[in-house]
């Protein structure tokens, strides 16, 4: 299936989560038009442009009128970017594709006009589950890191990141995350199965982050930021390492933070937690209530996998962190739909999970949103421990074709029209089957995302300060209204 693309907003200057102005800015929709782009189940609409809507004077709505209310005069966080992870699995799969499909893939994700304009990326320090095998950058026992080399990444991952960056116009905000220290530095002497960082190797491990960043930047890949540890409360059958909140706090303030500063990397954005929303507040408060740790921390990262406990998504935990620590950034660092099944690549629920999360995460104050693997093959891998998952684009390496799941289009409803530097603005609905978030871009255009996860078509008014445009939300659809 070939995606359908339409013109998007101009690429704007990158905003690094700066505080939004609180002084209301006058805004009127009088005389304006909204261009609508829709992705809808049971139709061929995939980021499809519809007829422009005109705003007309509208008075007080009554309760029987369904409305999406937008108030651009009240502003919140500034968007860092939206994107996905550039993993070994994605890189290896990419290079198995014919050249034409490689270019199609790059344009589909990273071109802001013909694609969905990804601007944010994550990659891993060392191997992870989405690698074909486990590896490290040093020889076993080399605590002085004299043998340090990123040679394992030079065949696939580094060239892949460079091509993605070029497709994004030469600039891609990239942060990095370790899955595990080398085995000799851990209590279980194993790259896999959890374990903890041994106290005597805390400085060596802190030095390792600096070595990695230096090596990548020497390769021409700028590193914007880093997380302390991927999923630091999970003992996984793949690469993993455990930290309590107190251990992470102390590692940041006594080792990692000072080491970054001494290495001339004090400007790199350090992100704590990088695990699920369930323990988000407990972890954030433990780290940020300590001023000596907090001074090094730019933000708190989180994933969406708390649902493994049978809980629903815990968006309120994000809100508690933002209310309590308003000057600390929230960033979504990973999410994917697990338990890959090739027969389900057209399942509409894939995209709806993304839409629900992105709307709620942005409304809770999140400044950046990072999907997991940007590309996987027809097995949901490669993955060296059989932990196969979905990606928004699947490459069938048997045929050389790309399969675009509706998750790709759902993410694109945000990333294509809400650009780095955009500021979130106030928006609400008066029916729970319509969900919404809205941003004002640096060029002044307002982008309002409306998602309908119900089985019914819904007529509604897009209402902005006494001006309204009549429109319709299709069943199981997501639409973005770009107001000039």
Catalytic residues: 231, 334
Q: Which residues, 6 or more positions from 372, have their beta carbon under 8 angstroms from its beta carbon?
A: 84, 85, 87, 130, 334, 335, 336, 389, 391
Task: Record the tokens describing residue 303, joined without a space.
Answer: 């994933």
Question: How far apart, in whole angstroms, are the C-alpha atoms of residue 316 and residue 215?
Answer: 39
Question: How far apart, in whole angstroms, are the C-alpha atoms of residue 228 and residue 275?
Answer: 11
Q: Let me know: does 406 contact 98? Beta carbons within 8 Å.
A: no
Q: At what angle do helices 157-167 and 99-110 cross, to 10 degrees?
A: 60
Question: How far apart, in whole angstroms, are the C-alpha atoms of residue 59 and residue 297?
Answer: 46
Dihedral sign from CA coordinates of 448, 301, 80, 390:
negative
Q: Let me know: does 396 contact 403? Beta carbons within 8 Å.
A: yes
Question: How far apart, in whole angstroms, are the C-alpha atoms of residue 341 and residue 348?
Answer: 14
Burial of 16: CB neighbours in 10 Å, binned 0-12, 13-18, 19+: middle
Of 119, 7, 18, the residue nearest 423 (C-alpha):
18
């Amino acid at each position: 299936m070939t995606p359908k693309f339409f013109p998007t907003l101009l690429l704007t200057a990158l905003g690094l989560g700066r505080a939004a102005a609180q002084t209301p800015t006058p805004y009127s929709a009088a005389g304006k038009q909204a261009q609508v782009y829709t992705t809808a189940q049971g139709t061929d609409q995939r980021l499809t442009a519809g007829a422009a809507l005109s705003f007309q004077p509208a008075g007080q709505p009554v309760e029987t009128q369904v409305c999406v209310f937008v108030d651009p005069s009240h502003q919140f966080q500034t968007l860092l970017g939206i994107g996905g992870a550039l993993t070994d699995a994605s890189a290896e799969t990419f290079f198995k594709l014919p050249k034409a499909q490689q270019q199609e893939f790059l344009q589909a994700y990273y071109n802001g006009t013909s694609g969905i304009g990804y601007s944010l990326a994550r990659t891993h320090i060392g191997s992870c589950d989405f690698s074909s095998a486990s590896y490290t950058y040093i020889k076993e026992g080399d605590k002085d890191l004299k043998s340090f080399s990123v040679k394992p990444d030079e065949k696939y991952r580094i060239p892949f990141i460079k091509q993605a960056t070029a497709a994004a116009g030469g600039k891609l905000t990239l942060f990095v995350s370790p899955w595990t220290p080398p085995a000799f530095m851990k209590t279980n002497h194993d790259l896999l199965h959890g374990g903890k960082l041994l106290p005597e190797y805390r400085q060596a491990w802190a030095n390792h982050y600096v070595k990695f960043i230096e090596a990548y930047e020497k390769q021409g890949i700028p590193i914007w930021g880093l997380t302390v540890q991927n999923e630091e409360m999970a003992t996984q059958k793949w690469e993993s390492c455990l930290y309590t909140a107190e251990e992470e706090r102390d590692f940041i303030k006594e080792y990692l933070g000072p080491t970054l500063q001494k290495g001339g990397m004090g400007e790199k954005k350090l992100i704590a937690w990088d695990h699920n929303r369930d323990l988000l507040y407990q972890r954030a408060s433990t780290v940020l209530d300590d001023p000596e740790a907090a001074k090094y921390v730019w933000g708190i990262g989180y994933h969406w996998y708390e649902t493994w406990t049978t809980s629903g998504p815990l968006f309120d935990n994000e809100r508690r962190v933002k209310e309590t620590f308003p000057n600390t950034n929230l960033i979504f660092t990973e999410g994917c739909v697990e338990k890959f099944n090739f027969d389900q690549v057209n399942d509409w629920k894939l995209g709806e999970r993304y839409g629900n999360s992105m709307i709620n995460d942005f409304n809770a104050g999140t400044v950046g949103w990072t999907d997991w693997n940007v590309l996987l093959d027809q097995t949901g891998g490669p993955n060296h421990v059989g932990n196969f998952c979905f990606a928004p684009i699947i490459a069938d390496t048997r045929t050389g074709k790309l399969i675009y799941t509706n998750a790709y289009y759902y993410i694109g409803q945000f990333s294509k029209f809400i650009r780095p530097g955009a500021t979130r603005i106030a928006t609400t609905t008066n029916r729970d089957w319509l969900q919404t978030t809205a941003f004002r871009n640096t060029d002044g255009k307002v982008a309002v995302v409306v998602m309908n996860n119900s089985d019914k078509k819904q007529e509604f008014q897009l209402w902005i300060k006494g001006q309204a445009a009549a429109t319709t939300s299709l069943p199981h659809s997501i639409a973005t209204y770009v107001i000039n």
